[in-house]
Amino acid sequence: MTMPAHGASREEVFSQLEAFKQHDVKWREGRAFTLAYNAGTEVTSIAEEAYRRFSTENGLNTHAFPSLQRIQSEVVSIVAGWFEGGSDAAGFITSGGTESLLLAVKAARERGRSERGITSPNVVMPTSAHAAFEKGCYYFGVESRRVPVGSDWRADVAAMEAAIDDNTVLLVGSAPQYPQGVVDPIAAIAALAEARDINCHVDACMGGVTLTYLARLGHYVPAWNFSVPGVTSISVDLHKYGYSAKGCGVLVHRNKQLRAYQTYITDNWLGGVYGSSGVLGTKSGGPWAAAWAVLHHLGDEGYMELTAAARRACEELTAAIQATPGLVLRAQPESTLLAFGAENPDVLDVYAVADRLWQLGWYVDRQGPPASLHCTVNAIHDGKIPHFVADLRAAVADAMKASATGEQGAYGTVD
């Protein structure tokens, strides 16, 4: 496409953009079990309006925009409270989980280099840890040591311990891990890190909000936050179960000394001192303001209600899958993520089921090994599970009858 010779009217521009969205998943209607999170029209509209009002403010320099300095400070403080971080906890807003996990790797590398002189660092993590850790290792020249999970899909602590050596700078646990929705044994992993005085990061991008409020609602939640000795940093995505606008995450460290390893400062150019809290330089204030607005609009009571709704829907879907012939649940979900596959893969291809669901307007993640479908259940799905289950069972029947096969697809795409 070439640049139009003449500008279009406002109406023409937005009409065309709306037309582009014609075949997108209808996430506002609860049709997406991944990628988008919805707490209802009012919350979404508040996030969008706050985003609009601060979209062109620049978080690169909060001295010029003290409003953003205050917004970031208050958002991080609220999140640190969820994590039981205490008065010493410190962090920054990020663009989301990927940036948070990259920075966790970078911070561990810098600490290992500064405090122990490590020049060939490695990270020990289970095969269930998010792909962004792999990306961080690749970007920052750190060896990735993946350790198989146990039969329950949780990190195998003994195997992780065996993989640690004098060059290990970071251990990773997830709360919950994404593929099967279970919480790693964080206390045991953190104890390994504490004994060696190295970093332990808890990836709570999916569970940082949900686990906090599930515990307050009386559900059993394994220990996962700063109440666990040895945990040095935790990440959460507010654009997931915080129901804010994309992209906003928070990375919190146990103290400012550990946080310092996340940052970058240089004056080795002609433009003066350049300081950066993360990967990005210029940062729109839109996601920051949206997060602040939604946190203050919902408050504790609102998040309690939304978490209860998401968990209720997750439990309903879990029971339905267990009652559906041909399907098998990968694990009992400990938050609001669940994965399921075929009881007999020779009889049913679950990727073909995903194809049929997409034809019916539902979007689910495809993952493996083993071949599985994955649902990130959130508040918008409360009350919609019976409709989804009816279409899921029809899709299973269709795929079996036709002996259909499907493609695994991708969690993230490169076009």
The whole-number pLDDT of residue 409 equals 76
User: Whole-prediction pTM value?
Assistant: 0.95
**Does residue 18 fall inside a structural domain?**
no
Do residues 196 and 166 lie in contact, with contact meaning Cβ atoms separated by under 8 Å?
Answer: no
The whole-number pLDDT of residue 385 equals 98
**Does residue 106 fall inside a structural domain?**
yes
**Does residue 4 fall inside a structural domain?**
no
**Does residue 103 fall inside a structural domain?**
yes
- Single residue among 295, 310, 326 that ends a domain in this structure: 295
Say if residue 353 is in the same domain as residue 284: no
Residue 64 CB neighbour total at 10 angstroms: 12
CATH number for 390: 3.90.1150.10
Say if residue 348 is in the same domain as residue 206: no
**Does residue 315 fall inside a structural domain?**
yes
Residue 405 CB neighbour total at 10 angstroms: 10
The whole-number pLDDT of residue 260 equals 97
Structural domain span for residue 321? 299-402
Say if residue 305 is in the same domain as residue 285: no
**Does residue 329 fall inside a structural domain?**
yes
Say if residue 358 is in the same domain as residue 244: no
Residue 309, classed as helix, strand or coil, is helix
Say if residue 121 is in the same domain as residue 143: yes
Tell me the CA distances in angstroms from 172 to 160, 163, 281, one per residue in order: 10, 12, 27
Say if residue 57 is in the same domain as residue 72: yes
Say if residue 211 is in the same domain as residue 112: yes
Sheet holding 199-203, edge to edge: 90-94, 249-253, 233-237, 199-203, 168-174, 122-126, 143-147
Residue 189, classed as helix, strand or coil, is helix
**Does residue 166 fall inside a structural domain?**
yes
Environment class of residue 304 by beta-carbon count within 10 Å: exposed (0-12), middle (13-18) or buried (19+)? middle
The whole-number pLDDT of residue 413 equals 64
The two three-digit tokens of residue 411, written as one number: 């969690």
Say if residue 158 is in the same domain as residue 180: yes
- Over residues 389-410, the pLDDT tens digits come to 999 999 999 999 988 888 887 7
Say if residue 240 is in the same domain as residue 344: no
The distance from CA 289 to its chain's CA centroid, rounded to whole angstroms, is 19
The whole-number pLDDT of residue 412 equals 72
- Over residues 31-80, the pLDDT tens digits come to 999 999 999 999 999 999 999 999 999 999 999 999 999 999 999 999 99
- Single residue among 295, 329, 362 that ends a domain in this structure: 295
Residue 170, classed as helix, strand or coil, is strand
Say if residue 208 is in the same domain as residue 329: no
Domain count for the chain: 2
**Does residue 229 fall inside a structural domain?**
yes
- Single residue among 249, 266, 295 that ends a domain in this structure: 295
Q: Which residues pair with 209 in a beta bridge?
A: none
- Over residues 71-102, the pLDDT tens digits come to 999 999 999 999 999 999 999 999 999 999 99
CATH number for 62: 3.40.640.10
- Reference 241, options 274, 262, 268, 214; nearest CA is 214
Say if residue 274 is in the same domain as residue 205: yes
Do residues 377 and 317 lie in contact, with contact meaning Cβ atoms separated by under 8 Å?
Answer: yes
Say if residue 380 is in the same domain as residue 395: yes
The whole-number pLDDT of residue 414 equals 62
pLDDT tens for each residue of the chain, 415 residues long: 899 999 999 999 999 999 999 999 999 999 999 999 999 999 999 999 999 999 999 999 999 999 999 999 999 999 999 999 999 999 999 999 999 999 999 999 999 999 999 999 999 999 999 999 999 999 999 999 999 999 999 999 999 999 999 999 999 999 999 999 999 999 999 999 999 999 999 999 999 999 999 999 999 999 999 999 999 999 999 999 999 999 999 999 999 999 999 999 999 999 999 999 999 999 999 999 999 999 999 999 999 999 999 999 999 999 999 999 999 999 999 999 999 999 999 999 999 999 999 999 999 999 999 999 999 999 999 999 999 999 999 999 999 998 888 888 777 766 7
The whole-number pLDDT of residue 404 equals 82
Angstrom distance (rounded) from CA 87 to CA 22: 48
